[in-house]
Chains A and B, each alone.
Chain A
């Protein structure tokens, strides 16, 4: 028994926070994730890019089990992803998620959106939750909107609230599933700036995005996916200036020369 716990501590010490091993998933006949191996270290910012339908969003959603996997294993902070139930809920509370379509709770105010998880999952008292929520809303620059409803906010504001809502849970890792894809162009930067700041503060982040600028400036590592496989993993400099695979070269030539 002692050895097991020592082994666990070692794993934590090496700093691997999210580990995916030979993960496979099918949607019917479509093999969306094919033998995915991916390790994300504590404090690392990993940007996942790739063409539409390459499985990158699905990959992101398997990490907090919004999508189940067919085989392979996913561990978070040394713990394998549990099945549906209390254990899984506990784990999800430690994994922040930001969606493409914001998904703010439409019937609750901005402030209530950010306090809900703290009160109902973290069991904080209302006052402490309010305080933290307001601080986070200020941090992402929407403090003045706290009493409004999501529908009264712009897309960029909504997404920043969604980031605050996820941060309120004090997550170990944040997942971003195309956080700027549903935004008007002039609102993309305000969201990216919040994410940049978060990356500088040392948050572990997995970001699925088409924002190459963000990948260049904020990522420690770029993971390029195509057709359900990880085709290439490299530092942003390496990847953008000197991609190794033809698939990545082809992809980059299509998006960078406009």
Chain B
């Protein structure tokens, strides 16, 4: 029944899902960093930074991901000549462009999750930290964000699961991840339902343990008050 899978080796099924995993991991790390910086901007005392953070989030989260990903290719790469450090390696170049697009998009959601976490930290925590003589960035890094992160592991797990599935959009610019292979198989094979089921199952295998693990982690790390 699964014979047709052996017809594909560039990428193979596992190879395609491996690309999906790589897209997810790199984008998750990037969007966690960029999203945290955006959240810091949104709570900073500097109006210019607050304005930038707010504008970024409200613009980027309202643009369809497909538009952003396609823009990295047709806009950044083709018009502005952004090669992401790999002008001759097309596979790597488009992989990196896809990660860039996913980071830009996902960071907006990460930012909002973290900002809601910052709001759960009582004002007194920051006041006590300021009263000790810690600077704004120390207050944020040492006292507020560690507590904020612990309270938003659940929401961040949602963002991570959405990101895992959103990596399929990278297929639109030719990154050979799972959805790219699925499309290819559907074009060539008769068992379309089975193919759909195989890929659906693959994503569940990726996201279900992630969700369960992060749920467990959020309970374990919850800050007791």
> Is B134's beta carbon under 8 Å from chain A?
yes
> Is B147's beta carbon under 8 Å from chain A?
yes
Q: How far is the CA of A105 from the CA of B122 in the complex (A)?
A: 10
Chain A interface: which of B10-18, B63-71, B94-102, B138-146? Answer: B138-146
Instruction: Please tell me if the beta carbons of B225 and A92 are within 8 angstroms of each other in the complex.
Output: no
> Is A254's beta carbon under 8 Å from chain B?
no
Interface size of B as a range:
20 to 34
* 8 Å CB contact of A66 from B131, B142, B224: B131
Instruction: Please tell me if the beta carbons of B128 and A93 are within 8 angstroms of each other in the complex.
Output: no
Interface size of A as a range:
20 to 34
* 8 Å CB contact of A105 from B45, B128, B135, B224: B128
* 8 Å CB contact of B135 from A89, A95, A101: A89
- List residues of chain B with CB within 8 A of the CB of A162: 128
Q: How far is the CA of A89 from the CA of B138 in the complex (A)?
A: 11
Instruction: Please tell me if the beta carbons of A89 and B133 are within 8 angstroms of each other in the complex.
Output: yes
Instruction: Please tell me if the beta carbons of B134 and A121 are within 8 angstroms of each other in the complex.
Output: yes
- List residues of chain A with CB within 8 A of the CB of B134: 89, 116-117, 120-121
13 A-B residue pairs with Cβ-Cβ distance under 8 Å, sorted by A, are A86-B135, A89-B130, A90-B133, A92-B131, A92-B132, A93-B133, A103-B128, A106-B223, A107-B223, A116-B142, A117-B134, A165-B128, A165-B132
Q: How far is the CA of A89 from the CA of B129 in the complex (A)?
A: 10
Instruction: Please tell me if the beta carbons of A64 and B143 are within 8 angstroms of each other in the complex.
Output: no
Instruction: Please tell me if the beta carbons of B131 and A116 are within 8 angstroms of each other in the complex.
Output: no
- List residues of chain A with CB within 8 A of the CB of B127: 66, 99, 103
> Is B50's beta carbon under 8 Å from chain A?
no
- List residues of chain B with CB within 8 A of the CB of A101: 122, 124
Q: Within B139-185, which residues are at the interface with A (CB < 8 Å)?
A: 142-143, 146-147, 150
> Is B58's beta carbon under 8 Å from chain A?
no
* 8 Å CB contact of A92 from B122, B124, B125, B133: B133
A148 to chain B, nearest CB (A): 11
Q: How far is the CA of A121 from the CA of B129 in the complex (A)?
A: 11
Q: How far is the CA of A121 from the CA of B133 in the complex (A)?
A: 6
- List residues of chain B with CB within 8 A of the CB of A64: 131
Instruction: Please tell me if the beta carbons of B147 and A107 are within 8 angstroms of each other in the complex.
Output: yes
Instruction: Please tell me if the beta carbons of B131 and A106 are within 8 angstroms of each other in the complex.
Output: no
- List residues of chain B with CB within 8 A of the CB of A117: 132-134
- List residues of chain A with CB within 8 A of the CB of B142: 116, 120
> Is A250's beta carbon under 8 Å from chain B?
no
